[in-house]
Chains A and B, each alone.
Chain A
Amino acid sequence: MSESSATPTPAGASVDSGNTGVGGRVPSADTTPEGPISAQPVTGNKTKVRPGDRIFRGLTTGSGVLVVVLIGLIGLFLLVQAIPSIGLDQVNFLTSREWSTNDPANLRFGILDLLLVTVATSVVALVIAMPVSLGIALFLTQYAPPKLARPFAYAVDLLAAVPSIIFGLWGLYVLAPQLAPIASWLNDTLGFIPIFADGNVSSEIGGTIFTAGVVLGIMLLPIITSLTREVFQRTPVAQIEGALALGATRWEVIRTTVLPFGKAGYISASMLGLGRALGETIALTIILLAPSTTFGGSIFDGGATFASKIASASSEFNDPRSVGAYITAGLVLFLLTFLVNFAGRAIVSGKKEYR
């Protein structure tokens, strides 16, 4: 699914390998059972390292360093270009909800509203995607007829291959009209709860956080599913058989063995899905309407996320001071996804049993 996702690739790549996905990501290769023996190079007699080896080693190590430096460079370049604009900002860039950059001499921009809308869309998406993904992962590992499990898994992975611009267009032109009655029903019956209150954009047009969240949720399904599935597959067979031997039903087997074992992996997968949702660009740019008031806490509000704000302004990038405002938004988004991904990885990195 286009935008830089962390999932293993759909078709063949993840099929046979035992260590794709969460488990394979664990740093420290030296404990991996399949780890090559190269830790102890064959140095029977103390010969010098051959020049070819030295060059090759330098080349590969240099590439490794490059990746590390690259992340630093991203942060650095964004920071360097954001600082002048933050300095020119007439309002507080963290707490203001204004966004007005067309007069470079009077920049007024704050990220608060973008942050709230970004989080709101992602939360709606996760509320939809998390339970469904859990169901799919259980289905694929525990319920599906063994012969069909692989084709079914392939079908779910195919969702990830559909570019997000297509999801966006489909969401706005095909799905939104179908969602409108559901939205108005939610609004009518549960309107007394603030998150279902009347929004600040027209619900008939459909460009609400609700619509965007549903589409985003669908886009997250394959990501969360594939990582969760891999962890579930690692549930020790002995545990499952033990539960079966005690007369457990299939659901009880899942509840007592698969879920406790895979919980951390599932949460980690959801975090990675969240990271993906926070940065989703074009689908949200297409769907979300911009209200003329700020975000009021309802899922029927409109708004702009960090990414959609940047994308819709990109054709007017000409004055460096105005661009700096958008780069500031990009920097905050970068830090946000960094933290979320970091947390997602940290949850599983300590788990030996996932390897």
Chain B
Amino acid sequence: MLELKNICFSRDGKDILKDISISFPDNKVIVITGANGSGKSTLAKIIMGIEKPDSGNIIFNGKDITKMEIDERSRLGIGFAFQQPVKFKGITVGDILNITAGKRLNRQELCSYLSDVGLCAKDYIDRELDSNLSGGELKRIEIAMLALKNSEFTLFDEPEAGIDLWSFNSLINIFENMKNNTNDTIVIISHQERILNIADEIVVFENGSIKEMGKKSKILPTLLISSKSTRYVKEEKSNG
């Protein structure tokens, strides 16, 4: 279980997170939503340790991790899929999956993780993680990394951005597998109605504060009707 207690974060005189307290229970899919600039991504970075809060505490399985570095948090069981995947010169898709696994994966294993995100291993494992790959391809590889890392607590920051409809379906499958097969917690930052639909709980952010939170059945209907500042994307119709 991950708990945030009274997290405050401001930059350049602007309060980005205002006294956020929230518990993420085990074995749940929690979707954080809200307008752009409402503090969602900052919150994710604070949980991963990329940003440090000005005040407040982060407790993971009873342990205060507020001062821990990124890698320590990762080894404790926190994972983070970036909104903008990072590019590397020379590091291939196969390399990054091996780094993620902490060992050399065989071709069959590599193939399995890549096919889950709709990529054919033989076309990709030797390709570099650089601008030769499209934004959508990089995004799918980012998701494959986190599915492989299979952390106890995984954050996905707008995983659907730049992903086409076909891989969007497999993306949902990945979340559902992660949810069904383990006791892990998945936190997804998203505006997608279809992702909101797989949530157990929804947290709505507004101007650096939690506007409301609770079970999907309670939050989702009002969100879809009343939202003015946030555009929720209706589920797209697939031909397939």
Asked if A and B bind, the verdict is no
- Interface, chain A (partner B; CB < 8 A): none
- Interface, chain B (partner A; CB < 8 A): none
